[in-house]
Structure 1
Amino acid sequence: MIEHGQPYFAAVPEYGPRLEKAWVAGQREWLTLSGDSKLTTAEKSGHHIYADRPDIAVRAIERVPSQAARAASCG
């Protein structure tokens, strides 16, 4: 899982900070679904991580086959 490094919702001062906090809490909740989860922060990235930090997105995608193979061998 990858999270943005720059506050995405800060552009909406009325509720942006609370929404940002809820977004982060939600991502932490997703992490609990698997003991093999990892959270990476894409520093200097907004919501569109694939465009702002394609290097991080590609690394995350490249990890998927090995993680799937490892999970398949355990089952």
Structure 2
Amino acid sequence: MSLSIILACLWALIANVMAMFPSKDNHWTNAYGLIAIGIPIVGYVTWQHGPWIGLLVLAAGMSVLRWPVIYLTRWIKGRVAR
């Protein structure tokens, strides 16, 4: 298994462990950190394995961080609707 896939799996494991602990801010601080670390990992996976595997890793990350994605799509829809 390549280093990029190992890093992506480690990121998913850490994200799930972080979700198990209580948080006063509904895990938004954790989400920002995971996004900042996850974007380069998705780029690394895409660089090593191609766009299809990169899209699979991106979809996996989006399923873990679904609320930031939902709020981003709502924000974009609000900006486009004006």
TM-score by length of 1: 0.37
TM-score by length of 2: 0.34
Higher RCO structure, 1 or 2 (CA under 8 Å, sep 6+): 1
More helix by proportion, 1 or 2? 2
